[in-house]
A and B are shown apart, each in its own frame.
Chain A
Amino acid sequence: QKEVEQDPGPLSVPEGAIVSLNCTYSNSAFQYFMWYRQYSRKGPELLMYTYSSGNKEDGRFTAQVDKSSKYISLFIRDSQPSDSATYLCAIPLGTNAGKSTFGDGTTLTVKP
């Protein structure tokens, strides 16, 4: 079993829609949960991270962790064409942030 599984997509939504991107993980000891955005032909960029359970909001983006069900989500409100990208959930393994297990990514297209 992979340590983190991501809903594969792809997703195509109209502009203004609410988008939900989801991952599940297997190890209850994981504490940090990251979301990266990767535009085509670019490297990933960290969007936001959460620690333990709960929600974290940053503008139109909300990251949510449910440790009881080992489920992490990223919500995008009022989606824009500029949000079209691949979104990767990632969980650091230990104390080295670079040694993370990544989901396979969900490609999102927001149509004007």
Chain B
Amino acid sequence: DTEVTQTPKHLVMGMTNKKSLKCEQHMGHRAMYWYKQKAKKPPELMFVYSYEKLSINESVPSRFSPECPNSSLLNLHLHALQPEDSALYLCASSLNTGQGNEKLFFGSGTQLSVL
């Protein structure tokens, strides 16, 4: 199994809603990532979890709250989002070898629309 599975594929939410994005991998990877990608732009790193601990937070607003319950699962909790937060949210994982060339495996993303 070489897949990173993200659910849901699409999400529409109002600015007062609370929702969660889920990501799962069963490749034994010990690093997991959240990215945000706007249309026609490259992915922007949001968070990195290394061995289930948050290791990088790229100054993301607190309305985005990541959680890594175990080595296979990664969640992104959303609350009080703004319309400009509408984007494709991508999860990725990697072995966590500490090598810059290690392969990242991306999920297909959750397309989020905030109304």
CB-contacts of A90-105 with B (<8 A): 90, 92-100, 102-105
Residue of A nearest to B90 (CB): A43
Interface size on B, as a range, is 20 to 34
Given contacts A102-B43, A105-B40, contact A49 B101 (CB under 8 A): yes
**Contacts of B43 on A, CB cut-off 8 Å?**
44, 102
A41 x B103 contact (CB < 8 A): no
**Contacts of A99 on B, CB cut-off 8 Å?**
45, 48, 56
Residue of B nearest to A8 (CB): B40
Instruction: Check: A71 CB closer than 8 A to any chain B CB.
Output: no
A88 x B42 contact (CB < 8 A): yes
Given contacts A49-B101, A98-B48, contact A42 B109 (CB under 8 A): yes
Q: What string of 1s and 0s marks CB contacts (under 8 Å) between A15-45 and chain B?
A: 0000000000000000110100000011111
Secondary structure class of chain A's binding surface, majority of residues: loop
A98 x B33 contact (CB < 8 A): yes
B100 x A31 contact (CB < 8 A): yes
> In whole angstroms, what is the CA distance A97 to B45 when docked?
11
Instruction: Check: B98 CB closer than 8 A to any chain A CB.
Output: yes
Return B35 CB to nearest CB of chain A, in Å: 8
Residue of A nearest to B109 (CB): A43
A98 x B92 contact (CB < 8 A): yes
B106 x A96 contact (CB < 8 A): no
Return A101 CB to nearest CB of chain B, in Å: 9
Return A41 CB to nearest CB of chain B, in Å: 7
Return B106 CB to nearest CB of chain A, in Å: 3
**Contacts of A92 on B, CB cut-off 8 Å?**
100-101
Q: Can you pick out 19 interface pairs between chain A and chain B where the beta carbons lie within 8 Å of each other?
A: A31-B100, A32-B101, A34-B101, A42-B109, A43-B90, A43-B106, A43-B109, A44-B90, A44-B106, A45-B106, A88-B42, A94-B100, A95-B98, A96-B48, A96-B100, A97-B94, A97-B103, A99-B56, A105-B40
The 7 closest A-B pairs by CB, nearest first: A43-B106, A102-B42, A92-B100, A98-B33, A97-B102, A32-B101, A32-B100
4 extra A-B contacts, CB within 8 A, seeds A49-B101, A102-B42: A41-B108, A43-B106, A98-B48, A98-B92
